[in-house]
Chains A and B, each alone.
Chain A
Amino acid sequence: MADEGSTKTQTAGVTRRVVLATGAGAAAASILPLDESAQAQMPSAHVETGRKVHLSALINGQRVSLELDSRASLLDLLRERLGYTGTKKGCDHGQCGACTVHLDDRPVSACLTMAAKIDGRQVTTIEGLSTGQDLHPMQQAFIDNDALQCGYCTPGQIMSAVACVTQGRATDPDAIREFMSGNICRCGAYVGILAAVEQAAKVMEG
């Protein structure tokens, strides 16, 4: 499974999923890519080998070329192959918005985007929103306005919120609520989210 994409992950240092997996007594010392002993522990009664597709895409500004199962979702490619675990899997059926990423600058649900479709295109995840140590104005606005509790939906919320402003839809509270309705927050941080979008819109629109 070695590929250009996974190289990036292995340089990312200790991730929370490594800690979690190690804490749970898993044999795998490094998680991505799975080593054979880890794969052997997975339930494998019905594992089918699918056909492969080759794709090359620009993900968070990095060129990624790899082969993968034709059935894979963009979400699983990002999380399981490339280590961009900021993008969350909520419902996996396009109903919650936790997996929202930008495909050629437009928000999409990564769970319902077949990975094969991103060949030749650009993907931006929450990890690619800002460079260096500076937060994106929307990230800062979410912190300033307490726009989260558990944080699981937050990366998806922020990716939608950025598009809400850049597409000129942050015109009034109702328009923001309507635009953001595809991102569900079960902690109910909607008041803070609305305030964050309004704050960031002022900064982003200068």
Chain B
Amino acid sequence: MQGLNYTFARSAEEAVAQFAGAGGSARYIAGGTNLYDLMKLGIERPAHLIDVSRIDGMDAIETDGEVLRFGGRALMADVAYAPVVRDEYPLLSQSLLKAASQQLRNMATVGGNLLQRTRCMYFRNGAGSSSMVGVYPCNKREPHSGCSAIGGVDRTQAVLGTSQACTAVAPGDWPVALMAMDATIETLGPQGARALPIAEFYRLPGDTPHSEFNLNPGELVTAITVRKTPAGRRSTYHKVRDRESYAFALASAAVAVEMEGATVRAARIALGGVATTPWRSSAAEAVVTGSTLTRELAIQAGRAAFADARSGKQNAFKIELGARVVADALIIAAERRA
């Protein structure tokens, strides 16, 4: 790890100004649970860290009844346990509580979590930080160096949104739930403030898997907003892992439904653990919308979500598992009281 400057910013504007002054090799740090980890692994090499975790007001969790708003540095734990989130948006609260450990949720922020990088083991462990593991090519870590996961050990790799250059899974849970709720990301950067839909926030790997987010240099996530919908309470974040707690998803689904009797009026379905970005499935939504929800229909919706899936040597199980996770999530969400 190279030597670095460490400064605190008192406002988002000051953070952006410090970034401009640092000349390109700076990174914002909030909880640091991902960034500092990647620095130890030799993957992130900032020369200047700008700490945004003390910015006044940027930890607010507020609602005017129509829009929920989370400051970018609000802690995962605080958002997960906020009464309005727990009561009105179970999928948002669950996506946070099923992520990481209680220690990490006391450190990591809801803004930083959007930018969490993949757990692909070739990406994480192949940078040469451990002499026992050695060096593995990775297009995400070193552009155009190749992909070790394709044709390699690929049990946890993605089956949706993959490319010839990368099959790494987007690791987050919270971004999947936000994707289902059409959240908006607010940023401040050298060019000023803007807001973009979460659907436009993540990039498919394509030929440039190292470029994961539609953020400009120096752009800071200042807030996340979620508009109130009739499908907030009838929602769930269903997550299947190798162990019951404290593990990344093998397959997960964020589902919110609006019901009229047994008929689905509207459905929001997003997938985690199976795709290269948080993955909205309009195909699955179309299967259930306007129909009576049955176990058979729910499974059909799950299969529709994976119609375009491509598996490698060891991860084909995710296609069947993922379809069943979607089906289970639909049933759980529909049974919730509106």
Residues of chain A within 8 A (CB-CB) of B103 are 94, 97, 100, 107-109, 160, 182
| Interface contact A92-B6, CB-CB below 8 Å | no
Stretch with Cβ within 8 A of A (4 or more), from B33-41, B250-258, B295-303, B319-327: B33-41
With both chains docked as a complex, state the minimum distance between the C-beta of B32 and any C-beta of chain A, in angstroms: 5
A53 in contact with B40 given A181-B101, A182-B246 (CB within 8 Å):
no
| Interface contact B104-A114, CB-CB below 8 Å | no
With both chains docked as a complex, state the minimum distance between the C-beta of A166 and any C-beta of chain B, in angstroms: 12
Is A152 engaged at the interface, CB distance under 8 Å to the other chain? no
Encode contact with A along B1-14: 1 for CB under 8 Å, 0 otherwise: 11111100000000
Is A28 engaged at the interface, CB distance under 8 Å to the other chain? no
| Interface contact A114-B6, CB-CB below 8 Å | yes
Is A51 engaged at the interface, CB distance under 8 Å to the other chain? yes
| Interface contact A117-B106, CB-CB below 8 Å | no
Is B29 engaged at the interface, CB distance under 8 Å to the other chain? yes
| Interface contact B6-A163, CB-CB below 8 Å | no
* A24 to B6 CA separation, bound complex (whole angstroms): 37
Residues of chain A within 8 A (CB-CB) of B246 are 181-182
| Interface contact B3-A112, CB-CB below 8 Å | no
Residues of chain B within 8 A (CB-CB) of A163 are 102
| Interface contact B102-A109, CB-CB below 8 Å | no
With both chains docked as a complex, state the minimum distance between the C-beta of B22 and any C-beta of chain A, in angstroms: 13
| Interface contact B6-A48, CB-CB below 8 Å | no
| Interface contact A71-B104, CB-CB below 8 Å | no
**Nearest B residue (CB) for A177:** B245
* A32 to B165 CA separation, bound complex (whole angstroms): 49
Is B88 engaged at the interface, CB distance under 8 Å to the other chain? no
Is B51 engaged at the interface, CB distance under 8 Å to the other chain? yes
Is A62 engaged at the interface, CB distance under 8 Å to the other chain? no
A-side interface size class = 20 to 34
CB under 8 Å from chain B, chain A span 168-188: 177-179, 181-183
CB under 8 Å from chain B, chain A span 91-133: 92-94, 97, 100, 103, 106-109, 112-114, 116-117
| Interface contact A112-B106, CB-CB below 8 Å | no
Residues of chain A within 8 A (CB-CB) of B3 are 48-51, 69-71
* A178 to B246 CA separation, bound complex (whole angstroms): 8
Is B283 engaged at the interface, CB distance under 8 Å to the other chain? no
| Interface contact A116-B51, CB-CB below 8 Å | yes
**Nearest B residue (CB) for A104:** B106
Encode contact with B along A24-66: 1 for CB under 8 Å, 0 otherwise: 0000000000000000000000001111010000000000000
Is B266 engaged at the interface, CB distance under 8 Å to the other chain? no
| Interface contact B107-A112, CB-CB below 8 Å | yes
* A112 to B107 CA separation, bound complex (whole angstroms): 9
A92 in contact with B32 given A107-B102, A116-B6 (CB within 8 Å):
no
**Nearest B residue (CB) for A69:** B3
**Nearest A residue (CB) for B38:** A93
* A122 to B102 CA separation, bound complex (whole angstroms): 19
With both chains docked as a complex, state the minimum distance between the C-beta of B96 and any C-beta of chain A, in angstroms: 13
Residues of chain B within 8 A (CB-CB) of A109 are 33, 101, 103-104, 107
Which residues of A pack against B, CB within 8 Å?
48-51, 53, 69-71, 73, 92-94, 97, 100, 103, 106-109, 112-114, 116-117, 160, 163, 177-179, 181-183
Which residues of B pack against A, CB within 8 Å?
1-6, 29, 31-33, 36-37, 39-41, 49, 51, 53, 77, 100-104, 106-107, 244-246
A-B contact pairs, 12 of them (CB 8 A): A51-B6, A69-B3, A92-B40, A93-B40, A93-B41, A94-B104, A107-B102, A108-B107, A112-B37, A117-B32, A117-B53, A181-B245
